[in-house]
A = this chain, B = another copy of it.
Amino acid sequence: MSSDNSIRMTTQRAAILTEVQEADKHLTAGELFERVRRKYPTIAYGTVYRTLHLLAEHGIIQEFPFGDQASRFDKRTDRHDHVHCLICGELTDVDVPIAILARQVAADQTGYDICEHQTVFSGVCPKCQQMN
């Protein structure tokens, strides 16, 4: 346990972090790998995964494991919810206040010690609505 919160910021790590932060949407590890490789063609897939998890552990970015496919990474580190397009798979941020009461209800019903929650809304995004 030393001065946490700070990690050694190498060239590769900075490049990966930049890609996450400059992304217009939530990217998968694979997509991030592709983007980083444009600038650093020698970077390895493993390095991207290692770094993303490291950054997530240190709270610099946030990881959202989605079931249907790969995990996605988000520059936002505060708690928030998502809407998920069932057609094109796009993931969009949304802020939906859920009553603190809801957590209490869940805790009471199950005996769990709840530290986190997230709501996923599924539906059809505006783009895909037009395409129909």
Chain A positions within 8 Å of B, measured between CB atoms, are: 64-68, 71, 81, 83, 85-86, 92, 94-99, 102-103, 105-107, 109-126, 129
The 9 A-B pairs at the shortest CB distance, nearest first, are namely: A65-B67, A114-B123, A111-B126, A116-B122, A112-B123, A119-B119, A117-B121, A113-B124, A106-B121
Asked if A114 meets B122 with Cβ closer than 8 Å, knowing A66-B65, A95-B109, A106-B94, the reply is: yes
Residues in B with CB closer than 8 Å to A99 are 99
Residues in B with CB closer than 8 Å to A114 are 83, 121-123
Asked if A117 meets B116 with Cβ closer than 8 Å, knowing A65-B67, A94-B106, A110-B92, the reply is: no
| B96 A105 Cβ-Cβ under 8 A | yes
